[in-house]
Chain A
């Protein structure tokens, strides 16, 4: 079973700053099956990035994803007030089939 470890647990930043979120897999995984989501209280999760680096429809270009193998990164180039939320990485394994989420990174206002 693949374990995804996100770091840091909490990121305290000011609007306009750059946020770098890490997701490390316990073994090498396919980038195609990796994604990032944003979750705010009372709202449905929102897909940000799929295939490790492709932005979902309607996602601002300040959000970018990168990585391969065991290390993946979500970068928010300049934080906007609406970006303060919890972010989760996800990976789907095909053998055996199953999906794992990371533990999440909270991006909070400093």
Chain B
């Protein structure tokens, strides 16, 4: 059974860097999938942040691209997100997800439970 679990600080100060990790179990992060981050600000909809492949190729949301970096650690079977210069607008529940992107199809088949990150001093 594939499981994803987000971890990281629940409170980040304005202008600081947000860092989250997603631990993957039940599947190898080196498999032919993409690994994504999605967030949901309070009272708003889902927003795709970006994705990374097991060899480190990345695609980011253009609106966040200048502040986002994703990385993957195959030895630990996890991937990570860093978001710099955060503001209150970055307060959200952050989800990690596995994207099934094979044979011309794309969807998220497994998700983490989500972790709330609040940006506040």
For B48, the chain A residues whose CB sits under 8 A away are 98-101
A46 to B109, CA, bound (A): 8
Q: Are B107 and A35 within 8 A (Cβ)? A: yes
Q: Are A44 and B105 within 8 A (Cβ)? A: no
For B36, the chain A residues whose CB sits under 8 A away are 99
A100 to B38, CA, bound (A): 10
How many residues of chain B have a CB within 8 Å of chain A? Answer: 26
A103 to B66, CA, bound (A): 24
Interface size class of A (residues with CB under 8 A): 20 to 34
A102 to B112, CA, bound (A): 20
A17 to B95, CA, bound (A): 32
A46 to B101, CA, bound (A): 17
Q: Are A88 and B109 within 8 A (Cβ)? A: no
Nearest Cβ on chain B to A50's Cβ, whole angstroms:
4
Q: Does A45 contact B (CB under 8 A)?
A: yes
Q: Are A43 and B105 within 8 A (Cβ)? A: no
Partner of B111 from the list A44, A98, A104 (CB cut-off 8 Å) is A44
Q: Does B120 contact A (CB under 8 A)?
A: no
Q: Are B59 and A37 within 8 A (Cβ)? A: no
- List chain A positions with a Cβ less than 8 A from chain B: 1, 30, 32-33, 35, 37, 39, 43-47, 50-51, 56, 88, 90, 92, 96-104
- List chain B positions with a Cβ less than 8 A from chain A: 36, 38, 40, 45-48, 51, 59, 61-62, 95, 97, 99-101, 104-109, 111-114
- Nearest 3 A-B pairs (CB), nearest first? A44-B111, A92-B106, A50-B107
Could you jot down 5 A-B contacts, CB within 8 Å? A32-B104, A32-B106, A39-B46, A50-B105, A101-B47
